[in-house]
């Protein structure tokens, strides 16, 4: 992928990230304003999650202060999770492999890997919310594995092991907030 073909908008960037194109993740650093664009993808993922949660909280008649607290915690968990997961991947990459890119260089491809989370508003669908959320979570995990495999020039198995260190911790934090959200409305 040449630099000319990477001059894309947000929609095209999301599509390339969603389709797990290895070349896209490998050349993420060539995308103009990659850090800002990747952070935009992560923030869209946060907004999508918050939209779904807001509707659920409104339906369950959660009080306004509790609703604000839950939404704040949920948004922070996703945003902090992004930086934490990138940090664990970077740190493990530095411990086990030479020539690991810097932390800032990993923020873009991993941020782009959050593209499936932009669809989190679909969790509003009754009875399918949790399964959709799990599918999107695994899809993001796969995208991060591709991003790490390409960004660190690793084999798929090594990239998977590195990515699986931080992923369960993020899932636990998000799950804890969801339980809090569900119990908060009662």
Could you write out the DSSP letters of every residue in the chain? --TGGG---HHHHHHHHHTT-HHHHHTGGGSTTHHHHHHHHHHHHHHHHHHHHHHHHHHTT--HHHHHHHHHHHHHHHHHHHHHHHHHHHHHHHHH-SSPPPHHHHHHHHHHTTGGGGGGGGGGSTTTHHHHHHHHHHHHHHHHHHHHHHHTT--HHHHHHHHHHHHHHHHHHHHHHHHHHHHHT-
Least confident window among 54-63, 77-86, 95-104, 146-155: 95-104
Whether residue 5 is contained in a domain is answered as: no
76 within some domain: yes
Pull the structure tokens for residue 54. Answer: 């807001």
Q: Please state, in angstroms and rounded to a whole number, the distance separating the CA atoms of residues 115 and 178.
A: 21
Mean pLDDT taken over the chain: 85
Give the per-residue pLDDT at 184.
Answer: 54
Assigned domain for 43 exists: yes
CA distances (Å), origin 157, targets 137, 146, 163: 19, 11, 10
- Tell me how many domains the chain contains: 1
Q: Which two tokens stand for residue 61?
A: 């008649």
Q: Which two tokens stand for residue 27?
A: 């050349």
Burial of residue 4, with CB atoms counted within 10 A of its CB: 0-12 exposed, 13-18 middle, 19 or more buried: exposed
Does the residue 8 lie in any domain? no
Q: Residues 6 or more apart from 75 whose CB is under 8 A from it?
A: 46, 49, 50
Domain extent, residue 156, equals 13-184
In a domain, 6, yes or no: no
Residue 2 inside a domain? The answer is no
* Mean pLDDT value across residues 122-134: 86
Structure tokens at 178: 């969801």
Instruction: Please report how the helices 64-96 and 103-112 are oriented relative to each other, as an axis angle in degrees rounded to 10.
Output: 120
In the structure, what pLDDT confidence band is assigned to residue 183 with cuts at 50, 70 and 90?
Answer: low
Q: Residue 99's pLDDT is what?
A: 76
Residues 26-38: what's their mean pLDDT? 85
* Residue 102 belongs to a domain: yes
Per-residue pLDDT at 144: 94
Length of the chain as a residue count: 186
| 99 in any annotated domain | yes
Lowest mean pLDDT among 5-19, 63-77, 107-121: 5-19
């Amino acid at each position: 992928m040449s630099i000319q073909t990477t001059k894309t908008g947000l929609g095209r960037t999301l599509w390339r990230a969603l389709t797990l194109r290895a070349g896209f993740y490998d050349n993420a650093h060539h995308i103009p304003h990659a850090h800002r664009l990747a952070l935009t993808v992560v923030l869209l993922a946060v907004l999508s999650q918050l939209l779904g949660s807001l509707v659920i909280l409104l339906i369950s008649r959660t009080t306004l202060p509790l609703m604000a607290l839950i939404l704040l915690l949920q948004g922070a968990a996703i945003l902090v999770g992004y930086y934490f997961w990138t940090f664990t991947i970077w740190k493990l990459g530095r411990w086990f492999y030479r020539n690991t890119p810097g932390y800032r260089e990993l923020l873009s491809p991993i941020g782009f890997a959050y593209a499936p989370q932009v669809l989190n508003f679909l969790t509003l669908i009754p009875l399918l919310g949790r399964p959709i959320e799990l599918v999107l979570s695994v899809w993001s995990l796969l995208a991060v594995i591709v991003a790490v495999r390409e960004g660190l020039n690793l084999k798929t198995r090594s990239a998977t092991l590195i990515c699986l260190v931080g992923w369960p911790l993020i899932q636990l934090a998000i799950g804890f907030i969801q339980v809090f959200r569900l119990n908060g409305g009662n």
